[in-house]
Amino acid sequence: MKLSKILALLLALCMVLGLAACGGQPAQPAADDAPKADDTPAADAPKADDTPVADAPAVEESAFYGPIYDDWSKMSDDELYQQALEEVKDGSAISIYATSSKMKKVQETFEEAFPGLKVDIMDLDNDEVLEKCRLEANAGNVMGDVLQVKDVNGDVFFGDYEDGIISAFYPEDICAHIDEGLLRYGYPLYASQSFWYYNTEAFPEGQPIDSWWQIIEKNEDGSQKYRIFTKEIGSETAYLSIFASFIVNADQMAANYKEVYGKDLEYTYDASAFNFEVPANNAGVEYLWRFSQMKITFIGDGDELVKAVHNSTADDPALALASAGKITNRDDSGYNIAWIVLNPYNGLQNLEYMYVVNNCKHPAGARLFIRFVTGGADGESGGFKPFAKEGNWPVRDDVKDKKNDMTLAELNAAEPDLAAIYNVFLDAQDMWIYWLDQNPNIG
């Protein structure tokens, strides 16, 4: 395990030793059968040790492997509402830590649907919102009630969730409309993925490539076929998780190479510099090595990434990796861009999760808000409406997707195995950083 990971886990352990029951007791204590949150002490959560990441247990062995149904899961909107009203008698508001500004659009409709309840929404990025929850837990001063966060490499599940900082709430009636495979690591709000984009004017007959290997092809003179634009892979968790998944699914990568080029993949990477075991003849590692040596332009803003594709030409073609939602620049800004669907799979289904913050002040209100934002009992609450756009896919089978013409499955998205990705992620990051530093094309 890398030193930074060990230190992070030790810090997380310090945070959770003082935590009590998951989500706290419901606000309304009158009835003896009032639902109680998970009473497993946070101090019993897995503790940091020197076990290598590669030896991490399978997710099925985790006590938090979902879905987990409890008394809270069976409560209706009205039951939660009545308890939430008790929780806010002091005039407090339900506090939502979100990673999307769209969450603020849910506030008004929620407060209209449930008079007497107020919501306070804080919009931060993924790392900031997690750090805020950790610091509050460590200080014993929990201010948040609900956390919206993306987990693409298992850090949230194997860290914050198992360490007792947050809890997953699974409303049983709604979960009946969600594929159980999507409930393993938490309760999802929606799914998305990342795409490579191409210029539709430069390639009017359609996408110029259909394999990840073709992105890094070179011409006979050794020059690249395509200019490559992306965020810096090593610091962009969602993108590095895709590369880590290639290491996990090396057989698929090797088979796709042979399918494209009619011959077996030649392995050229040298792993002798690393102080951890790198698998030999692994097509995912080979891809990471080859990609790290390409001439790449790193741009931190997704809109600027797809703009670079729009500005490219057939004589000087460009490809860019960006989130699916950046396709809206096609209509909003007139960009000549489109998604590329790749093999052996296009990318990972990235899920936005909704969690209850442990020891929060409004455990019933938090769960009521989570139900509302994910559609409520019948999918018609209106809470999900701000998140419905091209590039976001609803996970409920009773909610019609009006924004996307194709499903994630049709777009060849792979369901992420976060446990497997978690086991190789830090090694993949170390390999990327080391090899990128050797790249003469990166200044």
Residue pair 25/363 in contact (Cβ under 8 Å)? The answer is: yes
**Pair of tokens at residue 77:** 């909107």
Q: Do residue 161 and residue 264 come from a single domain?
A: no
Phi (first) and psi of residue 300, to 5 degrees: -80, -15
Q: Does any domain span residue 419?
A: no
Structural domain of residue 219, as residue ranges? 194-346+424-437
Q: Does any domain span residue 216?
A: yes
Q: Is the peptide bond before 344 cis (omega within 30 degrees of 0)?
A: yes
Q: Does any domain span residue 442?
A: no
Q: What is the pLDDT of residue 347?
A: 95
Q: Do residue 155 and residue 107 come from a single domain?
A: yes
Q: Does any domain span residue 416?
A: no
Closest listed residue to residue 181, CA positions, set 194, 171, 193, 191: 191
Q: What is the pLDDT of residue 416?
A: 80
Q: What is the pLDDT of residue 60?
A: 64
Q: Do residue 268 and residue 385 come from a single domain?
A: no
Helix (H, G, I), strand (E, B) or coil at 419: helix
Give CA–CA dist 153/323, Å, rounded. 16
Q: What is the pLDDT of residue 43?
A: 32
Q: Do residue 302 and residue 185 come from a single domain?
A: no
Which amino acid, residue 314?
A: A
Q: Do residue 106 and residue 239 come from a single domain?
A: no
How many residues are listed for the chain in this entry? 443
Q: What is the pLDDT of residue 33?
A: 34
**Pair of tokens at residue 441:** 């094309």
Phi (first) and psi of residue 282, to 5 degrees: -105, 120
pTM of the model: 0.85
Ordered mean pLDDT values, 10 residues apiece, the chain (443 residues): 39 39 38 35 32 48 89 97 98 96 95 98 92 95 97 95 95 97 95 97 98 97 96 95 98 98 98 95 98 97 98 97 97 98 96 97 98 97 96 95 92 90 96 96 73
Q: What contacts 346, CB < 8 A, 6 or more positions away?
A: 193, 195, 340, 411, 412, 413, 414
Q: Does any domain span residue 410?
A: no
Q: Do residue 273 and residue 327 come from a single domain?
A: yes
Q: Do residue 179 and residue 228 come from a single domain?
A: no
Q: Do residue 174 and residue 267 come from a single domain?
A: no
Q: Do residue 214 and residue 231 come from a single domain?
A: yes
User: DSSP letter at 264?
Assistant: P
- Can you name the residues that pair with 148 across neighbouring β-strands? 354
Q: Does any domain span residue 417?
A: no
Q: What is the pLDDT of residue 40?
A: 34
Q: What is the pLDDT of residue 443?
A: 55
For 191, 192, 352, 405, 432, the CA distances from 187, given in Å and listed in that order, are: 11, 15, 8, 25, 31
Q: What is the CATH number of the domain that holds 250?
A: 3.40.190.10
Q: Does any domain span residue 409?
A: no
Give CA–CA dist 356/35, Å, rounded. 15
For 375, 376, 382, the CA distances from 173, given in Å and listed in that order, are: 11, 9, 17
Q: Do residue 180 and residue 329 come from a single domain?
A: no
Q: Does any domain span residue 292?
A: yes
Q: Do residue 96 and residue 204 come from a single domain?
A: no
Helix (H, G, I), strand (E, B) or coil at 153: coil
Which amino acid, residue 53?
A: V
Domain count for the chain? 2
**Going by DSSP bridges, is the β-strand pair 146-150/94-98 parallel, antiparallel, or unpaired?**
parallel
Give CA–CA dist 16/396, Å, rounded. 33
**Pair of tokens at residue 139:** 């200080």
Q: Do residue 372 and residue 392 come from a single domain?
A: yes
Residue pair 92/140 in contact (Cβ under 8 Å)? The answer is: no
